[in-house]
Structure 1
């Protein structure tokens, strides 16, 4: 396979009936419409992606956090609206912003505040030490995360999203191996990938036990504030760990350290069908094409251009 540009930083995300692929300079999404077409949308990365934050250790983790909350959620809404039967079913503007805020609040409450408050309650009831309380909180947080992922993974629509997640991983694994990107070729590659966001979540949970243990025994208000305000710090630490692991995969010790992360990905991925792999390939090729053009400065004059949207034949990328 001819690779004119080696991408120094890229990743992906499953969408509703689609896949998002992100490089250093560009992002592209491919989504299967209800009519069977593959709809492509690509755009250069701007704003925070063009600042020095992307190259400063730890601070660049904030970019990844914004990547998930901003860019990722925006394309998730685009993919959801594409599947809507009529305009009344679409969620846009203030309604989407409210949905995002509520979702974030529920996530923080369920995965950070609830385990902390339950641990604090057990401490008061059983007279536990601060260290024991923090360990219990960490276990409760891990159980909440795994239980939630397992639970939503039983929903048929989410199972399809997880299958597109598997397609994204297979495509990136095949590209890194230098394979030709056809559905049949990339279907032979693993569902798991060490840089997956699922690995990021598990790492963040484990690091939360260490960081919160350092803080010791806190009063109720300090407990709540620390669990919310330290989320960006935990994200930065988790990103640096994942980045370090990805750069040292040939180390036998590191290969053992990532086993729990790869295991958890079994809950967030499903084997994709060939038509799902077509969508993932289309997204990756669109991202790579724009990435290559931007890197060679051929699209600098289009810096202010709107996203490019197109429909492609379902078999064009085979």
Structure 2
């Protein structure tokens, strides 16, 4: 395998390859040729890196795959050739570029190897990603690069936004989500208030009993609310939203088979903020026992564990494996977002960013849910009388 790790660097080209390289996924030498062919079909580089324990061992290229398949017999026998291992059939050696090379060195290497793209690896073979002429074009078109992407899962689909533009389900779905959250929270409060008289007081000293009961009530409310999300279509769309955002951020092909393998947990998910707020709010539950010192402990809990608890909640409650239909809706939204961003690459104003975040629409939906219920309470006095005890706790 040749290497350009010692090619000269030019001081007038500060952009280095580790800044341009994309973390294109690789396959194992023991992978089947048929799987390599599928990865090759969606690869933006027309080649797929082959890795062994994170070490680059070569590439599968269109040329190597074509040469191999041309030798295969026609008919059912060809299928057996696709079951062969990549190693020893379609694996070819390749040049490896140092991540510290600059753009001029990249152009020189591509010309020397007569290639459109080459892998980037350390001198010991540790793989960084792929880089090629397409990445140079991407660098020149950097104003069109995607900014930080936001998303919102609803009962009917995914909404994605760059701040300046949005795609996927529209305002109606976001308003519906806010109304669903209102009625879900109301239902939980009604259920808890109905069960409260049947529960026996805990056999603890008064201060301990009040603190533990407050903490348990908060925990049950949160678990019940998130459990309802888990049982609803929102959980599947929430997973699809996270996975498609991961795909956009890592330049992974927007296909159900690839997007569906990405993590359901995302570090920017609002569930993390919910977890932090819950941990911080535990201070209020334990003030009868510890006084203001309770907020010190809850603040430390929130500071150190909000992401850990948020990630656990995402994995186990606020998402569930997305169906193929849910993944396809999220992928369609992502592709539409890319198209709109290319047509409108200007930065978002603060007001547009707020509107495209989906939060105002959800708050409007929450208010509409409350308004509809209040109106029904006025028109149906028995209903209003039964709901009145829950309003104060809800707001």
Q: TM-score, normalising length from structure 1?
A: 0.48
Larger helix share, 1 or 2: 1
Q: TM-score, normalising length from structure 2?
A: 0.40
Rg (Cα) greater in structure: 2
